[in-house]
């Protein structure tokens, strides 16, 4: 054990670890959630990248010895590569606006850099505040790191969303000629094709993929350089320009400084917008998952219009029961994302004066939203969407049987007559087509043409045929 000293007093720290006294205090103070900052590797990586960029920038303007800057950069590279993930034991929820997180990274880099230069841990050559944190404050480092981390999480989400989009496009094409009954208010409605239904799902996914691409294409605006309150106090001449040049090189991301650094520290509306996008994606995916559960319900006593892949037994007591576990998983992911969005919204609104200190809640929940959606969408696509089969016979029987087919009769003969036909069909347990034939309202050839469910799904064809019959009726 070695003794370390801070403004509060002394504490013994294990010689085996690279973090120091401030990290150890915070480790004991905030151990509540079971989630550590080390479990958010993109966040830790982003902080390390900021430290590296700042060290190089400070050396370039002559405010940091080159050997110290090189050691800091090399130590940061190890963190970026994930080599010291177990050195970040702090609970993600913590007081102090993430000062503890910033100092955890500062201490680890300082001790490792010192070890590189002197052969032993310590701060005699590289100090966590004096050198690693030079020209920085927790207040500008953390929101900058959140921005970089979220960009990377978005990059990871993209392949999953693109995969889902392609799978839904394929299903829309595969099911394009399978006619079924639509349902509105969970009641029988007019015929559509299963492919049309899936085309709606595909377009939703495609739209959200395009939104994600547009966000990734925009320059990433960051408040680095604001230091404590937006005044850049503690930086040196030339640092602002140099640090963003280096940050762009280190991260490989098109970054630039925020137009107004006071705004950059005060507000978090960009977090709300980003979480809002993820919530919008989640609500749509949850709706699709619910639809698939309903359409596959059965197999004997439900809709059974589609057959989902069987991935595991569904009951501990009922033999042969198979549950739609993957759509259910997707639903749960979506519920959690929506809950996280509320926590983010409250945390952003709860900021006060010149800093939002609730950023631990913000990054925890954003990281979880991205992680859940990235993994959940991939499972949803590969274990469910890709393997969906259509029950053509069942779909077509519903299309023939829906009372909403009387809509065609209503368009030609008036709403009262259409209502009479529908009520008669319900009372006698017959199809609309059977009732119309019995009533002799049209010839058999006209009935077969006018009340063909597949024809009704094509608005151009149906409007043309209905118009022709209306002219003949006149």
Q: Which residues contact 4 (CB under 8 A, 6 or more apart)?
A: 10, 11, 12, 13, 20, 21
Q: Evaluate whether 79 touches 40 at the Cβ level (below 8 Å).
A: no
Q: Which two tokens stand for residue 163?
A: 């995969």
CA atoms in the 13 A half-sphere facing the CB of 386: 11
Kindly report, residue by residue over 242-269, the tens digit of the pLDDT.
999 999 999 999 999 999 999 999 999 9
Domains of the chain and CATH, by start = 2-134 (1.10.275.10), 140-171+179-393 (1.20.200.10), 406-473 (1.10.40)
Is 186 a residue whose pLDDT tops 60?
A: yes
The pair phi, psi for residue 339, each rounded to 5°, is -65, -40
**Active-site residue, selected from the candidate residues 98, 214, 310, 315:** 315
Catalytic, 315? Answer yes
Q: Which two tokens stand for residue 226?
A: 């604001």
Q: Evaluate whether 41 touches 30 at the Cβ level (below 8 Å).
A: no
**Which pLDDT band holds residue 473 (cuts at 50, 70, 90)?**
low
At residue 301, the pLDDT reads: 94
**Which pLDDT band holds residue 464 (cuts at 50, 70, 90)?**
confident
**Which pLDDT band holds residue 462 (cuts at 50, 70, 90)?**
confident
Nearest to 17 by CA among 121, 118, 113, 99: 121
Q: For the whole model, what pTM was predicted?
A: 0.94
For the chain, the first-to-last Cα distance in angstroms comes to 100
My answer on whether omega of the bond before 137 falls inside 30° of 0, hence cis, is no
**Which pLDDT band holds residue 474 (cuts at 50, 70, 90)?**
very low
The residue behind tokens 């077509």 is 396
Tell me the average pLDDT across 326-338. Answer: 98
Q: Which two tokens stand for residue 45?
A: 């990586």
Q: Evaluate whether 390 touches 361 at the Cβ level (below 8 Å).
A: no
| Stretch among 140-149, 171-180, 369-378, 414-423 having the lowest mean pLDDT | 414-423
Is 404 a residue whose pLDDT tops 50?
A: yes
**Which pLDDT band holds residue 471 (cuts at 50, 70, 90)?**
low
The radius of gyration of the chain's CA atoms, rounded to the nearest angstrom, is 31
Is 357 a residue whose pLDDT tops 50?
A: yes
At residue 469, the pLDDT reads: 62
Nearest to 292 by CA among 373, 227, 200: 200
Q: Which two tokens stand for residue 325?
A: 């576990």
Q: Which residues contact 27 (CB under 8 A, 6 or more apart)?
A: 89, 90, 91
Q: Which residues contact 442 (CB under 8 A, 6 or more apart)?
A: 436, 450, 469
At residue 234, the pLDDT reads: 95
Kindly report, residue by residue over 23-78, the tens digit of the pLDDT.
999 999 999 999 999 999 999 999 999 999 999 999 999 999 999 999 999 999 99
Is 350 a residue whose pLDDT tops 80?
A: yes
Q: Evaluate whether 392 touches 172 at the Cβ level (below 8 Å).
A: no
The pair phi, psi for residue 191, each rounded to 5°, is -65, 145
Q: Evaluate whether 106 touches 128 at the Cβ level (below 8 Å).
A: yes
Considering only residues 471 and 28, tell me which one the structure prediction assigns the higher pLDDT: 28
What average pLDDT does the chain have? 95
Strands of 223-376 (E only): list them: 255-257, 306-307
């Amino acid at each position: 054990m070695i003794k370390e000293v801070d403004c509060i007093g002394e504490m013994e720290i294990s010689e085996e670890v690279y973090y120091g006294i401030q990290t150890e205090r915070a480790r004991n103070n905030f151990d509540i959630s079971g989630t550590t900052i080390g479990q958010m590797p993109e966040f830790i990586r982003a902080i390390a990248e900021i430290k590296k960029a700042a060290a190089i920038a400070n050396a370039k303007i002559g405010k940091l010895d080159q050997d110290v800057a090189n050691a800091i950069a090399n130590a940061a590279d190890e963190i970026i590569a994930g080599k010291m993930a177990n050195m970040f034991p702090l609970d993600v929820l913590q007081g102090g606006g993430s000062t503890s997180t910033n100092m955890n990274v500062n201490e680890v880099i300082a001790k490792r850099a010192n070890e590189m230069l002197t052969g032993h841990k310590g701060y005699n050559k590289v100090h966590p505040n004096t050198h690693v944190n030079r020209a920085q404050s927790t207040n500008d480092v953390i929101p900058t790191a959140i921005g970089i981390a979220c960009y990377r999480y978005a990059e990871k989400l993209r392949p999953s969303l693109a995969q889902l989009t392609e799978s839904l496009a394929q299903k829309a094409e595969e099911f394009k000629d399978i006619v079924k009954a639509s349902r509105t208010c969970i009641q029988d409605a007019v015929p559509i094709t299963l492919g049309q239904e899936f085309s709606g799902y595909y377009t939703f996914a495609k739209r959200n993929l395009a939104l994600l691409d547009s966000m990734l294409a925009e320059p990433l605006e960051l408040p680095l350089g604001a230091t404590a309150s937006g005044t850049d106090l503690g930086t040196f001449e030339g640092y602002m320009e140099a640090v963003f040049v280096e940050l762009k090189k280190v991260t490989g991301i098109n970054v630039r400084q925020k137009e107004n650094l006071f705004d950059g520290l005060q507000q978090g509306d960009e977090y709300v917008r980003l979480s809002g996008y993820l919530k919008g994606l989640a609500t749509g995916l949850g709706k699709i998952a619910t639809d698939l559960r309903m359409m596959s319900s059965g197999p004997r006593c439900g809709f059974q219009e589609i057959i989902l892949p069987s991935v595991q037994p569904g009951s501990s007591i009922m033999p042969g029961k198979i549950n739609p576990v993957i759509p259910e998983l997707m639903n749960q992911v979506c519920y959690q994302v929506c809950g996280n969005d509320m926590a983010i919204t409250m945390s952003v609104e709860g900021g006060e004066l010149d800093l939002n200190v609730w950023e631990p809640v913000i990054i925890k929940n954003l990281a979880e939203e991205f992680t859940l959606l990235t993994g959940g969408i991939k499972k949803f696509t590969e274990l469910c969407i890709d393997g969906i089969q259509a029950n053509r016979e069942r779909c077509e029987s519903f299309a023939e049987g829906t009372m909403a087919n009387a809509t065609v009769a209503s368009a030609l003969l008036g709403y009262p007559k259409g209502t009479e036909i529908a009520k008669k069909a319900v009372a006698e347990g017959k199809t609309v087509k059977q009732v119309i034939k019995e009533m002799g309202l049209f010839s058999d050839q006209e009935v077969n043409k006018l009340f063909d469910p597949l024809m009704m799904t094509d608005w151009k064809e149906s409007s043309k045929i209905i118009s022709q019959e209306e002219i003949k009726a006149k």
